[in-house]
């Protein structure tokens, strides 16, 4: 209604905790379809195709900057790991190990690397260096977090609520 310049991203990983969206949404409906029904420009994008995501995001931002109102991009992807925690959850019975492995085979980084290999002969070395750099950065961040003192429970709600109006 107000034509605000905002881009919404829905990372649709096909599951709602441990339920496939197919059992939670009416057949034939989609997140981007609901947004479009509300008058928001919306589209579905292969969330595992970094080039498609980049192009869609660029277009959405350009539309917003031109004053054409909000845009929602529904990025279809997959949650590899358990809803909570680092492990796989195929043993919980709501998805199979084969389903998880088939999505992992379509890893966005692998797909982009494969697509760039012909034009970028050093892409494998660049990706390996990138992985090592971010793994080191992640380990350092975890180390800093573990070194922090445990929070005081008296301050548990600090910042959770605005002060009461006068």
Residues known to be catalytic: 79, 83, 94
Residues near 20 by beta carbon (within 8 Å), at least 6 away in sequence: 14, 94, 95
* Torsion 66-68-69-70 (CA) sign: negative
Question: Could you tell me whether strands 15-16 and 71-76 are parallel, antiparallel, or unpaired per DSSP bridges?
Answer: unpaired
Residues near 135 by beta carbon (within 8 Å), at least 6 away in sequence: none
Q: Which two tokens stand for residue 74?
A: 């529904």
Rounded CA-CA distance 95/97 in Å is 7
Give strand ranges (E) for 31-146.
Answer: 41-46, 71-76
């Amino acid at each position: 209604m107000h034509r605000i310049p905002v881009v919404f991203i829905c990372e649709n990983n096909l599951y709602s905790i441990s339920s496939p969206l197919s059992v939670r949404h009416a057949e034939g409906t989609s997140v981007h379809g609901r947004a479009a029904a509300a008058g928001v420009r919306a589209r579905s994008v292969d969330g595992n195709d970094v080039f498609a995501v980049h192009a869609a995001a660029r277009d959405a931002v350009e539309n917003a900057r031109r004053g054409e109102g909000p845009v929602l991009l529904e990025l279809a992807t997959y949650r590899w790991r358990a809803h909570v925690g680092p492990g796989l959850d195929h043993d919980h019975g709501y998805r199979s190990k084969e389903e998880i492995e088939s999505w992992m085979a379509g890893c966005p980084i692998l797909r982009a690397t494969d697509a760039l290999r012909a034009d970028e002969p050093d892409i494998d070395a660049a990706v390996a260096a990138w992985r090592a750099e971010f793994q080191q950065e992640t380990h350092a961040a975890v180390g800093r977090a573990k070194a922090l003192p445990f929070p005081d429970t008296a301050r548990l709600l600090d910042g959770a609520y605005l002060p009461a109006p006068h």
